[in-house]
Amino acid sequence: MEVGLLMLAGGVAAGAFGSILGLGGGILIVPLLTLVFGLPLREAVAVSLVCVIVTSSASAGVYLERRQANLRLGMVLELFTAAGAIVGGAVAFLIDERLLAGLFALLLVYVAATMAGGLRRPTSPEPITDDETPPPSPAPEPVALRQADMDYRVDRLPLAAAGSIGAGIASALLGIGGGLIKVPLMHLVLGVPLRIATATSNLMIGITASASAIVYLMRGGIDAYVAGPTAVGVFVGASLGSRLGHRIGQRALRLLFVVVLLYTAFEMARRATGLG
């Protein structure tokens, strides 16, 4: 019972902090399950994907209601992220867990560096994140409406499609939403406004993560006893985080998390090198 409650509490913490800091749950869930509970990395990735679907489906619903997500663009690109996710899901069972740990360590360093860079700027209006939780404030409807009837730089769609395949592979291998790739891709390559890119990325995360989660599920890679408490915890935590986020001082919390992420990256790197 104690382990179950700890897993539940860990899920709540991962969901809440992920939501407050604008990080996807996977960044925190995978290290939690591997480094704290000693689960194999591949099993942690599979459970993380289930949690990512839960939070992204809930928040994508909100984004759709607020008319912030671009349904058409999201559906076209998720065709490619889903294809990448299936490839990633199949590849995940072929490669050494130490390589996966090394890739995850690199991801953590990248996120920590991005977060540290944001700390140096006096105001960071719209950070590029792996966020799965919509902001609690009322919908900034005018932003969505201004984009009505606007076509993005669709001449670059092949490049965006190729990047989406990469995002899907990363999602399946590392148990993350992939917003870290998809949001910059839509914003910088297709010229989609950042707020709409974030909302659209959220919409795409569900089908991307479910495509790879299904591969893990069919291969017996998901443990229901671990997925249950973790998913419930993450769902509760993300809901709390989206309500409390604006009341909490972000700067100190972000600074703390840069340290936590770097320490976690170090531990993952130790695993990758066989020292952990």
Partner 1 sequence: MAGLGRNEGDADLEPTLARVLQVGTYVSIGLVLVGTVLLLAGGISPLAASPPLQVDRLVPDVLAARPAGFLWLGILGICATPALRVVSAAIGFWRRGEQRMVAVALLILVVVAAGVITGLLTG
Closest CB to partner 1 among residues 117, 158: 158
Minimum gap (Å) between residue 144 Cβ and partner 1 = 7
Closest CB to partner 1 among residues 68, 129: 68
Residues belonging to the chain: 276
For 28, 38, 111, 171, 271, the CA distances from 262, given in Å and listed in that order, are 12, 19, 9, 20, 14
Structure tokens at 3: 């382990």
Q: Which of 170, 231, 261, 268 binds partner 1 (CB under 8 A)?
A: 231
Closest CB to partner 1 among residues 21, 238: 238
63-83 exposure pattern, b = at least 16 Cβ within 10 A, e = fewer:
beebbbbbeebbebbbebbbb
Q: Which of 103, 228, 260, 270 binds partner 1 (CB under 8 A)?
A: 228
Q: Which of 116, 214, 253, 260 binds partner 1 (CB under 8 A)?
A: 214
Closest CB to partner 1 among residues 47, 265: 47
Using the 8-state DSSP alphabet, how is residue 35 labeled?
A: I
Which residues between 55 and 114 bind partner 1 (CB under 8 A)? Answer: 56-58, 60-62, 64-65, 67, 69-73, 75-76, 78-79, 82-83, 85-86, 89-90, 93
In the Cβ-directed half-sphere of 237, how many Cα atoms lie within 13 Å? 30
- The answer to whether 179 and 23 are in contact (CB under 8 A) is no
Q: Which of 182, 235, 261, 271 binds partner 1 (CB under 8 A)?
A: 235
Judged by CB under 8 A, which stretch of 19-27, 98-106, 210-218, 245-253 contacts partner 1?
210-218
Structure tokens at 267: 């531990």
Judged by CB under 8 A, which stretch of 110-118, 173-181, 227-235, 268-276 contacts partner 1?
227-235
- The answer to whether 57 and 64 are in contact (CB under 8 A) is no
Annotate each residue in 17-56 with x if it binds partner 1 (CB under 8 A) or - if it does not, as one string: --------------------xxx----------x--xx-x
Q: Which of 34, 129, 198, 212 binds partner 1 (CB under 8 A)?
A: 212
Minimum gap (Å) between residue 123 Cβ and partner 1 = 27
Closest CB to partner 1 among residues 6, 116: 6
| Residues contacting 272, CB < 8 A, separation 6+ | 98, 99, 101, 102, 105
Closest CB to partner 1 among residues 93, 110: 93
Please give the Cα distance from 264 to 37 (Å, whole number): 14
Report CA Rg, the chain: 17
